[in-house]
Amino acid sequence: MSALNSFFEVVFTFFQEMFTYALIAIFLENTIFSRALGTSTALYVIRKKYNIFLFGGVMTLIMAAASVLTYLVYPFLKGLSFSYYIVPPVFVAIIGVVYVGALLLTRSLVHKRREEILQLIHVSAFNCAVLGALLLATGIPFAGFGVYLGFGVGSAIGFTFAAYLISIASERLNSEDIPPAFRGFPITLIYIGIISLALYGLIGHTLPF
């Protein structure tokens, strides 16, 4: 009975950690609005009119797989005195493995919308959002498996959420109503800045002036 209890406790802790860190990554430390990671990728996806939710799904799977591998590998690196220099190449190699694996799996298992998904894997695997989320997860003290997985998945969902918020305003931000100098990219950045400011206030910060 006590073994069963401790098993349920472990499962409960795992889901609790995963859910908490996923929420933190989506709202408090949003990849785009809080850290500007992958902003150019989000703008590229919107400009090319890719399906944002399909892109988000692909990115979530890549991020989840990379987070699991990071959780397994990072304990061997963190004790090293030169870990700051060795971590980026190891993480890039992990992303590379996941990237190749995702392409191979898609080629062999996916039949519907295969070409579109392959194209999305190329865009979603190697960017600052993925590498940034992995690097940020290593900075969380006493992080367990749930934390790594939750933070990785949450970062991808947060990225999708941010890209969706930008895309729904994109048509207006590119319209004739905007002065030519601001139309398109400049006003989009100001729009992202306003949402970033709103999120900053929403989570309870007060401006320091």
Partner 1 sequence: MRRTFYQRNQPFLDRLFAFILHNPVLERGLVLAPIVVAAYNVQNALILGVSFALITFITVFLSSLLPQKIPYVFRVIFYALLACAVFVPTAMMMDWMFAESVVNIGVFLPLLVANSLIVVKSETRFHQHPTFGRMIGDLFSNVLGFLLVILLVGLCREWLANGFSLTRTAEGSFSVPAAALPFTGFFLIGLLAALVKKIRGRLENPRPRKSEQREEFLASLQQK
> Which residues form the interface with partner 1 (CB under 8 A)?
33-41, 43, 84-85, 87-89, 92-93, 95-96, 99-100, 103, 122, 126-128, 130-132, 135-136, 139, 180-182, 185-190, 192-194, 196-197, 200, 207-209
Q: Supply the minimum distance, in Å, between the C-beta of residue 93 and partner 1.
A: 7
Comparing CB distances to partner 1, the nearer of 10 and 93 is: 93
Comparing CB distances to partner 1, the nearer of 14 and 92 is: 92
- By CB atoms closer than 10 A (0-12, 13-18, 19+), residue 192 is buried
Comparing CB distances to partner 1, the nearer of 7 and 96 is: 96
Q: Supply the minimum distance, in Å, between the C-beta of residue 204 and partner 1.
A: 14
Comparing CB distances to partner 1, the nearer of 114 and 122 is: 122
Q: What is the DSSP string of the chain?
A: -HHHHHHHHHHHHHHHHHHHHHHIIIIIT-TTTTT-TTHHHHHHHHHTT--HHHHHHHHHHHHHHHHHHHHHHHHHHTTSTTHHHHHHHHHHHHHHHHHHHHHHHHHHH--TTHHHHHHHHHHHHSSHHHHHHHHHHTTSTT--HHHHHHHHHHHHHHHHHHHHHHHHHHHHHTSTTS-TTTTTHHHHHHHHHHHHHHHHHHTT-----
Comparing CB distances to partner 1, the nearer of 2 and 49 is: 49
Q: Supply the minimum distance, in Å, between the C-beta of residue 7 and partner 1.
A: 36
Q: Supply the minimum distance, in Å, between the C-beta of residue 4 and partner 1.
A: 41
Q: Supply the minimum distance, in Å, between the C-beta of residue 1 and partner 1.
A: 45
